[in-house]
Structure 1
Amino acid sequence: MKKVLIVLLLAAQGALAQKGPVVSFGHVDTLHSNILGEDRRLLIYEPPHDTAYFSKPAYPVLYLLDGDGYFAVVTTLLQQLSYINDNKACPEMIVVGITNTDRNRDLAPVPDSRLPHSGGGAAFLRFMQEELIPYIDQHYATAPYRVLAGHSLGGLTVLNALVHAPQAFQGYIATEPSVFCGNEWLLHTLRDTALHLQQHDLYLGVANTLYAGMDTAQAKKDTSLYTYHFRAILAFRDYLKQHPESGLQWAWHYYPDDNHSTSATISLYDGLRFIFRDNPWPHQLPVPLFQDTTLSNDALRTMLTTHFTKLAAHRGYPVKPSEPLINQMAYTCLQMGMPERAKMFFQLNIDYYPESFNVYDGMGDYYMAVQDKAHAKAYWKKALSLKFTDEINKKLQAAQ
């Protein structure tokens, strides 16, 4: 497994203006594909996490087509949506940017005379299913929830995966998909395919590629080549409308002020917000409601556990609150003179992360704060049985 750091260097006229720390977006990994007969370069982002104190979590994975172009903006976007400024609009995620070697070959599912080398989409889909996903699951801390995102031909690949490999991904973001490719091959295959897409989510972003002054209703009636791309996407949308029995949860949005190119970023943002629409904590938690004494500790705990139970039902695997965040909330309550609320949060962390030494250390600190030395020592001993640290050992010895 080859890894190289991806960095952003602030440069002026081709040279560094000032030496200093680099800004890292992630690293480069390389996977050899037997199916495609070549090495594939992957851009990898992993959320920052302090494993010296906390359990290493498993993360959902966003697989990003045309990774060369979108990796930096998507990783930054996910940081903003998942933890910066206490955001919880999306979960923290691993990002796998799949860079291109022969874009037309990989992303066009069938030959198209307008696209040289096109038609290798089936092999590329096999590569993702049989080689890429198993490799990522083996080498990174992944949860069993995957999102595939793509634009233009990448968007077509997203829809192709939805129809022909729905077991590979659970979330899909298709922006401006080239549904016209291969004389609307995808639309023709839908007529012979029964879709069963329960617990799958699709976001479809459509840009304004019409004549000036033309609205969508006029475009659907138009027969010119200029509107062919737009009409083919709407035909796919209409198919979804006509087949609610598929069980697919989906949404679409028309961006009248964006063209084919500019729609990519805003559609990725909206797509992530749609797929993870249930992710935000209830009632703007954790700030400021976790400090609200009008809400009982039991009611607050029930609100939180119910929220994560619903997320687990939607995604199909156990979803937990962040151990560091719950830990932070517990210590904040302790410092604010709310010891029983702090105890509730410490216990919540113990219930969700029973194998973590840190959660027992925290409960020991709670008991020491309320002058219950016997229970404090018991919890610190439990923490030390899982992982020895000088810090906890010194607290235990001082309490003897």
Structure 2
Amino acid sequence: MKTTKLLILTCALSLNTVFAQEKTEKDPDSPRLTEHSEPAVSLGEISSLQSKVLNKTIPLSIHLPANYDSSRKTYPVLYMLGSDYRARFAMLASTLDYMGEGRIPEMILIGIDLPEGNRILLPTRDQDTTIPDNYINFFETELIPYIDNNYRAAPFKVLFGGSNSGFFSVYTLLNNPLLFNGYFASSPSLSNISTELQQKIKSGPLKTLSENRFLHIIYSDDEGLTNHVSEFTRVVADHKPESFTYRVDELINQGHVPAMDFTQFLLALYPDFKPFNFRKNLESLDKVKQHFDRLSKRYGYEIKTPISVIFDLGYVTIRSKNLIAAEEIFQYSLEVYPEEKDSYLGMGLLRQTQGQLENAKVMYEKALTIDPDFSLAKRWLQRL
């Protein structure tokens, strides 16, 4: 498997280059903007996997959490269909990064490019399902094992698809519900073989499902899907097993594959990852640990307490002058996240509050060795 960097440059960087060229051509001596050698945003790697099942090379786009290389954690994996739509892939990657700072667990994003178009995931006009069936087989026997063997993947997987690939997400659930833990379909093309889908709900593998699985459908009222989705969910409600939960959100005037779908899906998938008013409800380290232990049992893999939650709890505890409890919190932070700058920043603040200025300085400097541009550590170090 060959990999190359997948880079997205901001418009400002491109404009800087254009403006610099215009200035040079008009007035070589005038001040000009300079082009930076580093990209503004890096989204990961472009890669590929040779598939025997599909008899072709499958292009992949891979985005890892920011601290993946330095951490020891495992991460749930979100598989996105149609990552050759680069703007969509960039949106998913940046959303995972942003929400992974405390709203949801950090996740690995694996994009499956569909250069032939996502219609390839639909049954043919004569209702032949050979190709979508082969793609399910590709996921099960080739792609997922490859990702599990080459990345620190937790045993929790999610499939995301929009439009025709949204249909494939639903189709995969009904044919192989154990393949993924969660299924997300944005504006799925449920008009395709609707009778066959209903029969799958009534007598297919989903009917005897004993493990927890989750489906979330999101669409807009202005794209002609309301009746198809309503009929589909009516049949699901009548025949679903207790272990299967689903949610349907109809948005207003948001068009095909709504832009806000992904954020809503993630919040529904992890509804109480960071509870509302957590500073009141999780006011001690023991309660924080218990909360994330419960989440780990629910999702079937270890979910560590996010560093942002630990730091916030420690900071509030210092402000409340309970320095003994704050010591326990930041010692726990250093134990769980020895590679995180915030662990040392928090311990530095505690040592400073305790009057141990030399020890505080050591902690701030350690945070800066991890991130030399860490402005908060620089500022607090200067105050010493």
TM-score by length of 2: 0.75
1:60 paired to 2:92: no
1:233 alignment partner, one of 229, 233, 236:
229
Per the TM alignment, residue 152 of structure 1 is displaced from its structure 2 partner at its CA by 1.2
1:354–1:82 CA distance, 2 compared to 1 (3 A):
closer
Q: Report the counterpart of residue 313 of structure 1 in structure 2.
A: 297
Q: Report the counterpart of residue 98 of structure 2 in structure 1.
A: 80
1:24 paired to 2:42: yes
1:49 paired to 2:67: yes
Instruction: Name the SS of the counterpart of 1:48 in structure 2.
Output: coil
1:269 alignment partner, one of 227, 241, 263:
263
1:335–1:301 CA distance, 2 compared to 1 (3 A):
closer
Q: Report the counterpart of residue 245 of structure 1 in structure 2.
A: 241
Query: 5 Å matches for 1:164-203?
Result: 164-182=175-193, 184-193=195-204, 194-196=207-209, 198-203=211-216
1:337–1:138 CA distance, 2 compared to 1 (3 A):
same
Per the TM alignment, residue 306 of structure 1 is displaced from its structure 2 partner at its CA by 1.9
Identity percentage of aligned residues: 24
Instruction: Name the SS of the counterpart of 1:269 in structure 2.
Output: helix
Q: Report the counterpart of residue 166 of structure 2 in structure 1.
A: 155
Instruction: Name the SS of the counterpart of 1:190 in structure 2.
Output: helix
Instruction: Name the SS of the counterpart of 2:54 in structure 1.
Output: coil
Per the TM alignment, residue 157 of structure 1 is displaced from its structure 2 partner at its CA by 1.0
Q: Deviations over 1:299-339 (max 9, x none)?
A: 61232012102211220122111357636865886698643
1:255 paired to 2:251: yes
- Verify the 8 A CA contact 2:202 2:239 in the aligned structure 1: no
1:343 paired to 2:327: yes
Q: Deviations over 1:109-146 (max 9, x none)?
A: x32259xx975000001111111111111222211111
1:99 alignment partner, one of 106, 110, 113:
113
1:74–1:188 CA distance, 2 compared to 1 (3 A):
same
Instruction: Name the SS of the counterpart of 2:305 in structure 1.
Output: coil
Partner Cα distance (2:339, 2:321) in 1: 28
- Verify the 8 A CA contact 1:47 1:93 in the aligned structure 2: yes
Partner Cα distance (2:228, 2:344) in 1: 58
- Verify the 8 A CA contact 1:26 1:43 in the aligned structure 2: yes
Q: Give the length in aligned residue pairs.
A: 336
1:307–1:254 CA distance, 2 compared to 1 (3 A):
same
> CA-atom RMSD, angstroms?
3.7
Instruction: Name the SS of the counterpart of 1:68 in structure 2.
Output: coil
TM-score by length of 1: 0.72
Instruction: Name the SS of the counterpart of 2:159 in structure 1.
Output: strand
1:124–1:308 CA distance, 2 compared to 1 (3 A):
same
Q: Report the counterpart of residue 38 of structure 1 in structure 2.
A: 56
Q: Which amino acid aligns with 1:231?
A: N
Instruction: Name the SS of the counterpart of 1:2 in structure 2.
Output: coil
- Verify the 8 A CA contact 1:49 1:56 in the aligned structure 2: no
1:239–1:367 CA distance, 2 compared to 1 (3 A):
same
Per the TM alignment, residue 354 of structure 1 is displaced from its structure 2 partner at its CA by 9.9
Q: Deviations over 1:167-188 (max 9, x none)?
A: 2211111111112213543223
- Verify the 8 A CA contact 2:93 2:109 in the aligned structure 1: yes
Q: Which amino acid aligns with 2:246?
A: W
1:29–1:253 CA distance, 2 compared to 1 (3 A):
same
Q: Deviations over 1:50-88 (max 9, x none)?
A: 755xx42211111111112221011112222221xxxx2
Q: Report the counterpart of residue 4 of structure 2 in structure 1.
A: 4
Per the TM alignment, residue 93 of structure 1 is displaced from its structure 2 partner at its CA by 0.9
Partner Cα distance (1:350, 1:14) in 2: 42
2:287 alignment partner, one of 303, 311, 331:
303
Q: Deviations over 1:221-254 (max 9, x none)?
A: xxxxxx5x54222221112221353421221111
Segments of structure 2 that go 5 or more residues without pairing to the other structure are: 21-34, 360-369, 371-384
Q: Which amino acid aligns with 1:275?
A: L
Q: Deviations over 1:186-210 (max 9, x none)?
A: 2232232224164212111122246
Q: Report the counterpart of residue 220 of structure 1 in structure 2.
A: none
Partner Cα distance (1:239, 1:274) in 2: 22
Per the TM alignment, residue 13 of structure 1 is displaced from its structure 2 partner at its CA by 8.2
Q: Deviations over 1:357-378 (max 9, x none)?
A: x989998997999699xxx9xx
Partner Cα distance (1:47, 1:63) in 2: 14
Segments of structure 1 that go 5 or more residues without pairing to the other structure are: 211-226, 290-294, 377-388, 390-400
Partner Cα distance (1:348, 1:232) in 2: 51
- Verify the 8 A CA contact 1:58 1:143 in the aligned structure 2: yes
Query: 5 Å matches for 1:329-368?
Result: 330=314, 338-349=322-333
